[in-house]
Structure 1
Amino acid sequence: MADDKTNRGPQDRSRINFSEDYEVRYWTDKFGVSKSQLEEAVREVGSSTEAVEAELRRATLSGSKE
Structure 2
Amino acid sequence: MADDKITRGERDRNRVAANQPYELYYFKTKHGLTKGQALKIIERYGSDRDAANKAASGLKKK
Match of residue 5, structure 2, among 3, 6, 14: 3
Q: Which structure is richer in relative contact order (CA contacts within 8 A, separation 6 or more)?
A: 2
CA-atom RMSD, angstroms?
2.0
CA distance in structure 2 between the partners assigned to 1:36 and 1:19 by the alignment: 13
CA, structure 1 residues 44+27, in 2 after alignment: closer, same or farther (shift >3 Å)? same
Structure 1: runs of 5 or more not aligned: 5-11
C-alpha displacement of 1:54:
0.8
Under a length normalisation based on structure 2, what TM-score does the superposition of the two structures give?
0.65
Count matched residues: 54
Per residue, is there more helix in 1 or in 2? 2
- 1:43 — aligned with what? 43
TM-score, normalising length: structure 1: 0.62
Q: Does the residue aligned with 1:15 lie in a helix, a strand or coil? A: coil
Structure 2 match to 1:14: 14
Deviations 1:18-44 (A, max 9, x none): 222122112122222111111111122
Identity rate, percent: 24
Larger Rg: 1
SS of 2:47's equivalent in the other structure is coil
Which segments of 5 or more consecutive residues in structure 2 lack a partner in the other structure? 7-11
